[in-house]
Structure 1
Amino acid sequence: MSSPDQVLTAAEMRAAEDALIDAGTSVDELMLRAGRGAAEWVWRVAAGRPVTVLCGPGNNGGDGYVIAETLRARGLAVVVIAPAEPGTAAARTARDRWQGRVAQDAAGAHGGVFVDCLFGSGLTRPLSEEHEALLAELAAHHAYSVAIDLPSGVATDDGALLGRVPRFDLTLALGAWKPAHFLIPALSRLGESRLVDIGVEASASAASVYPRPRVSAPARDAHKYTRGLVGVVAGAMPGAALLAAESAMRGGAGYVKLLSPVSHPAAPAALVVDHGDLDEVLADARWSALLVGPGLGRDDAARERLEAALARGVPTVLDADALHLLDDDALEGVDPARILATPHAGELARLCETFGIEGEGKVARARALAGRTGITILAKGPDTILASADGRLAYFPPAPSWLASAGTGDVLAGLAASRLAISGDPFKAAGEAVWLHSEAGRMAGPALTADDMVSAISSAYARFL
């Protein structure tokens, strides 16, 4: 059974295709499935306009010949450009089925829709100057551009750009999503992304797109403690902790307390601010989850508050300043399986330095850090990665770019703590928080502030009931 959510590396995709071939599906049949499936999307966006298909020498180019012939047979005007002869048997067969002419350059090609089938996924070498120029020219002279599997010049496994890659309007993933469909800088070139099913079997070991969650209303007999008690451990800087606490109040937990050594005159009436001795406050047996980091500070007093929270042994979200204080000493005697860390790029780099992680790329570093520490890692940013110590890896659909605003990370941390109080599962809490955060950003609208997002959380939550 195929899975619409799995994310396969280039090697995993080759293995998946090999498994289909070993089970009796020919390469030609796979190419027809991919090309005809992609042609359905191109047919819709073309809306009668002429189509130019750029075919490379490999099987991605073969997909292009199938797309071209499918569209030609439906009555569209189609031009095929192929700067090189097909280099595989399946691509040659696909070209032989094409009943139009083949041009070798882009002379005179312009108009409606450009379809890039030059290389697609699996490319590891830089694009040549000639190929860069050809892609740029065709993209510039067509009203709409479609990439098949991936834009030519994008590295499949890490989303790196292997040359000057134009921006596309639509990218059609063939068979399964690839890491580059979710990673910067490739993400900035893809436009909308859609999946074309070719029958690839689901793999239990594959990474996945974290599915849209379903949350529920409280039980009829629920009260504030059974819904989850969240403590936000604040420090000397009140703003970030207050923002995170307000977010947590709207994330589903029944009771949120701001545990702070300073006054918070701007705190809403519904938020309980506790100025008591932290060790005594944390002795309450009813805590469901803690959040440590926003507004904490990085001095000795902040480290003491972090260690006091970790020693409590309840599920905990670590964000912001806590990530600059975290080390092996702070984790000594602590169950890391209860901890969720939410670093941005700079904090992820700091954690990797602290724990001796030398991996390259966001995905590799997040996975290595989770494995090294036992902590669940939510590496946030314009591309967000969720990695657990047991090897699970999840990607997320892109969120609104307006989220690149001060304080939105504190909002995400508060949501994660609220969801953690409900489930006790760091991986699940992180996934739910990212989806809620993204939806709240959409509902808050353009030029949003973190306060706008907090105000939108309750309405966003309703979208997942």
Structure 2
Amino acid sequence: MRISDTPVPILTAAEMLAAERSAMAQGDTVETLMDRAGRAVAEAVWRFGGGRPVLILCGPGNNGGDGYVAARYLAKHGMDVRVVAFGLSGTEASRAAREAWEGPVEALEEAEEAPVLVDALFGTGLARPLGDTLAQNLVRLTERKPFTVAVDVPSGVGSDDGVNLGAVPAHLTIALGALKPAHVLQPAAAFCGIVNVADIGVAAASKVSLLTRPRIQEPGPESHKYRRGLVGIIGGEMPGAGALSALAAIRIAGYVLASGMDGMALPHAVVHRRCEAILEDRRVAALLVGPGLGRGPEARKQLDQILEKSCPIVLDADALMLLRPDDFPEMKRRPSPIVMTPHAGEFAALFGELSGSKIDRARAAAEISGAVVVFKGSDTVIACPDGHVRVAQAGPGWLATAGTGDVLAGIVAAFLANGRSPYDAASAGVWIHAEAARLAGPALIADEIPARIPAAIATCL
């Protein structure tokens, strides 16, 4: 999936409905919004469909109405357009759109395939799997892989939670007014293809947004190594994990102190110190603990000592598995922030079975812990305790290999030491980590990512 760098909000179905009602309260009508949506779909089909014959599948709701409007505009362009109706139009606006379509309307079971397929069956309201009859006909109409355009979301995905309800994959999805969770959360995002956001005249606002490229300022003449930030990294039983974090952090921070990594092949710029010396050093601007720490009593003792420090902290890997729910009240009382970077297994062990989408769960975890939570995965979600959330575009699948999370933790800690807020440090870290992995290319290993960080940062200057 590719989405523009331009910041856009991510709205649930209820939030989008509220935004549409607000637009109507200011003078727009449902028919006006539907006309804009249908015109946007038609323009996309006109631009990307190659002038080939088009089959538009229209459902019973307003999503289907958008399809009828698109058909009307495409016919005005002189294109070969056929329309299939699945069920009777169930809203006044969709019935009006169907009546305004002057061509024939075919039954789904009798329809023949076309080189371009427009999926206007179901929009953001679908909450149950597609029925057998519909699913079978969709398989039949798509078995020759037509160029498929989805209206708002592909039919068969949960708009708010990104679940797969029997989805029809699209090459191009026209998101109407704003992104929806299904465009960024897996597995639904994998069915969306390229996502273009169409302006339909709705002022959409949300605390949830797409993660975009960070702006990074080149150090000026007044900068020195301490101003750029000193990161302390506490290693343990698996020193290689901490070494990966240090390799990443030294590319961004001005100074890195590492404990428990003697003998590791680290750059000479990384300074080796005992854990006690790092914790006593008042120059440390951010601490990272967890990668390779271990999970025994001594590791827990170290974690307790670190949580008592007043500087910002990044908790990753073993540190997350050592935390207990009764640590959260004390974490909330700390004068300095905490960033936690769990993958799905660590998240479940720490927070249990929270309800809702991945966005909902990350937001709840941030509120419970008082920390910025980076809920990692192919759909990484960054949640702040105040309810703000950023969702990252899918990074390279090659990141699914050992040690890449340690690299991410080092990057986040370095941005935190730079003086960024924890939310912005986590956001910049996730973006740079994914970009460095793209630059590293296929079949990467975690050790190769830190060397690509400079090139990733160069795209942000």
User: Scaled by the length of structure 2, what TM-score is found?
Assistant: 0.94
The alpha carbon displacement at 1:331 in A equals: 5.1
**Alignment identity in percent?**
48
Q: Aligned residue for 1:314?
A: 311
Output the amino acid matched with 1:264.
G
2:278 corresponds to 1:281: yes
| Of 231-240 and 362-371, the range deviating more from structure 2 | 362-371
**1:325 corresponds to:** 322
Q: Is this contact kept in 2: 1:81–1:106, CA < 8 A? A: no
1:54-69 residue pairs with structure 2 within 5 A? 54-69=57-72
C-alpha separation in 1, matches of 2:102 and 2:431: 47
| Comparing 30-39 and 397-406, the one that deviates more | 397-406
Q: How many angstroms apart in 1 are the aligned matches of 2:337 and 2:211?
A: 20
Change (3 A) 1:214 1:424: closer
Match in the other structure for 2:392:
396
User: Paired residue for 2:379?
Assistant: 383
Matched AA of 2:140: E
The CA deviation at 1:283 is: 1.4
User: Alpha carbons of 1:122 and 1:61: their partners in 2 closer, same or farther (altered >3 Å)?
Assistant: same
1:150 deviates by 0.7
d(CA) in 2 for partners of 1:314, 1:166: 49
Cα distance in 1 for residues equivalent to 2:199 and 2:345: 37
Displacement of 1:265 in angstroms is 3.5
Aligned pairs for 1:233-244 (under 5 A) are 233-244=234-245
2:192 alignment counterpart:
190
Which residue in 1 is equivalent to 2:88? 85
**Partner letter of residue 80 of structure 2?**
A
Cα distance between partner residues in 1 of 2:65 and 2:444: 45
Query: C-alpha distance in 2, partners of 1:64/1:106?
Result: 18
Match of 1:100 among 97, 100, 103: 103
Work out whether residues 233 and 293 of structure 1, in 8 Å CA contact, stay in contact via their aligned partners in 2.
yes
Output the amino acid matched with 2:323: L
Write the deviation string for residues 162-195 of structure 1: whole angstroms up to 9, x where unpaired.
2x22322111111111111111111121111111
- Paired with 2:249 and 2:456, the residues of 1 have a C-alpha distance of 14
1:222 counterpart residue number? 223
Q: Is contact 1:294–1:321 with CA below 8 Å preserved after alignment?
A: yes
Q: 1:75-154, aligned counterparts within 5 Å?
A: 75-105=78-108, 107=110, 109-154=112-157
Residue 109 of structure 1 and its aligned partner are, at CA, apart by 2.5
The alpha carbon displacement at 1:360 in A equals 3.9
Instruction: Please give the secondary structure, in 2, of the residue aligned with 1:394.
Output: strand
User: Number of matched residues?
Assistant: 454
Q: Distance in 2 between matches of 1:32 and 1:424?
A: 44
Residue 182 of structure 1 aligns with an amino acid whose one-letter code is V
Superposed displacement of residue 340, structure 1: 0.3
One-letter amino acid matched to 1:113: V
CA shift digits 1:410-451 (9 cap, x unpaired) = 111111111111124111111101111111111111122112
Aligned-residue RMSD, C-alpha:
1.7
- Distance 1:236-1:95 versus aligned 2 partners, 3 A rule: same
Q: CA deviation at 1:388?
A: 1.3
1:99 deviates by 2.5
Determine the structure 2 residue equivalent to 1:253. 253
Q: Structure 1 residue 263 and structure 2 residue 265: aligned?
A: no
Superposed, 1:44-55 pairs within 5 Å as: 44-55=47-58
Residue 31 (1) aligns with residue 34 (2): yes
Instruction: Indicate the residue corresponding to 2:212 in structure 1.
Output: 211
CA distance in 1, matches of 2:40, 2:181: 21
- Describe the SS at the equivalent of 1:53: strand
Which blocks of at least 5 consecutive residues in structure 1 are unaligned?
Answer: none
Residue of 175, 178, 183 corresponding to 2:177: 175
The alpha-carbon deviation at position 106 of structure 1 amounts to 5.3
Q: Distance in 1 between matches of 2:399 and 2:86?
A: 42
Letter in 2 for 1:394: R
Q: State the Cα distance separating 1:397 from its structure 2 match.
A: 1.6
More displaced, 29-38 or 142-151?
A: 142-151
Q: Which amino acid aligns with 1:165?
A: A
Separation in 1 of the partners of 2:7 and 2:134?
32
Contact persistence 1:307–1:330 (CA under 8 A): no
What TM-score does the superposition give when structure 1 sets the normalisation length?
A: 0.94
Residue 449 of structure 1 pairs with residue 449 of structure 2:
no
In the TM superposition, what whole-angstrom CA distance separates every residue of 1:238-272 from its partner, at most 9, and x where no partner exists? 1111011101112x211112122x52242222221
8 Å contact kept, 1:416–1:432? yes
CA deviations on 1:207-238 (whole Å, 9 max, x unpaired) are 11123211110121211111000111111111
